[in-house]
């Protein structure tokens, strides 16, 4: 259950990574930590007591005020915008996808993860943009052929190819070196976030079984 809630919380950040760039005041890891911490709160009282969180009737999520700040995309950082433009123009001009470029799900050339991280000021944001570029295709067959991507037909503006929520979740937690502890806290550690998630799920399942 904890894994599912974290996935839901991070899904919004994954869909709009440019939001976290707004104003340059919050890093992707900052946003990831807050989203994960709120999603792990199980009671309305504890959720309401946290200024970063808000109870929506069934789960704890980011507060409306914080969410509003994240969707303010009027002032993205110029350095990161420049990096994205540079990567797109450099790799978009290639046909063989070599060097700092690789082939996306749709067959076009996109920047490698290392290329994004080398040019962007926020490594986690670079990983986010890389994964979204990997799934930037318009056709369903090309989309589902890539293990990290899935076809989403629920969007109001039309179907899209997007990064699987679990893939983005694991990538963000691992890149930020976050560990999800059994007591619901999220802390920095050199340990793999994937391993920590499994540990939390194992302890949760054990609690139900015994």
Q: Where are the domains of the chain?
A: 78-171
- Lowest-confidence pick of 12-21, 89-98, 154-163: 12-21
Average pLDDT over residues 123-146: 86
Q: Please say whether the beta carbons of 150 and 162 come within 8 A.
A: yes
Give the CA count within 13 Å in the CB-facing half-sphere of 145. Answer: 11
pLDDT in the model for residue 25: 55
pLDDT of 43 higher than 80: yes
User: What sign has the CA pseudo-torsion 113, 119, 123, 128?
Assistant: negative
Give pTM, 2 decimals: 0.67
Residue 90 has pLDDT above 90, yes or no: yes
Q: What percent of the chain has pLDDT over 70?
A: 73
Q: How confident is the model at residue 76 (pLDDT cuts 50, 70, 90)?
A: low
Q: Give me the count of residues in the chain.
A: 210
Question: What pLDDT, on a 0 to 100 scale, did the predictor assign at position 174?
Answer: 87
- Over residues 91-120, the mean pLDDT reads 90
Ramachandran bin of 56, using left for φ above 0, alpha for ψ from -120 to 50, beta for the remaining angles = alpha
DSSP state of 97: -
Check if the beta carbon of residue 189 is closer than 8 Å to that of residue 177. yes
CA distance readout (Å), 10 to 14, 33, 115, 154: 6, 9, 23, 18
Helical residues (DSSP H) of the chain, grouped into ranges: 2-15, 18-21, 28-39, 44-49, 64-70, 78-92, 113-119, 123-134, 140-144, 165-175, 193-209
What pLDDT sits at residue 72? 45
Residue-level pLDDT at 14: 47
Residue 126 backbone dihedrals phi, psi, to 5 degrees: -60, -40
pLDDT of residue 24: 44
pLDDT value of position 68:
62
Higher-confidence residue of 17 and 22: namely 17
- Quick: pLDDT tens for 146-198: 889 999 988 877 888 888 888 887 888 888 888 888 777 788 876 544 444 44
Return the higher-pLDDT residue of 194 and 27: 27
Distance (Å) of CA 209 to CA 42, 54, 202, 203: 20, 31, 11, 10
Mean pLDDT computed over every residue of the chain = 75
Residue 37 has pLDDT above 50, yes or no: yes
* Cross-strand pairs, 109: 103
| Residue 121 dihedral angles phi and psi, to the nearest 5° | -75, -20
């Amino acid at each position: 259950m904890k894994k599912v809630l974290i996935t839901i919380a991070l899904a919004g950040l994954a869909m709009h990574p440019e939001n976290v760039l707004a104003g340059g005041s919050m890093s992707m890891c900052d946003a990831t930590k807050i989203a994960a911490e709120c999603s792990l709160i199980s009671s309305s009282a504890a959720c309401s007591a946290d200024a970063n969180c808000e109870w929506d009737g069934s789960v704890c999520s980011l507060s409306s005020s914080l969410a509003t700040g994240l969707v303010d995309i009027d002032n993205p950082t110029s350095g990161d915008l420049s990096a994205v433009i540079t990567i797109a123009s450099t790799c978009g001009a290639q046909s063989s996808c070599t060097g700092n470029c690789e082939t996306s799900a749709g067959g076009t050339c996109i920047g490698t993860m290392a290329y994004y991280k080398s040019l962007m000021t926020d490594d986690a944001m670079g990983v986010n943009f890389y994964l979204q570029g990997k799934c930037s295709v318009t056709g369903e067959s090309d989309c589902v052929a890539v293990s990290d991507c899935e076809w989403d037909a629920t969007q109001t503006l039309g179907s899209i190819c997007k990064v699987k929520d679990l893939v983005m979740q694991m990538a963000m937690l691992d890149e930020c070196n976050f560990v999800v502890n059994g007591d619901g806290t999220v802390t920095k550690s050199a340990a793999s976030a994937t391993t920590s998630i499994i540990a939390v799920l194992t302890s949760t399942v054990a609690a139900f079984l015994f």
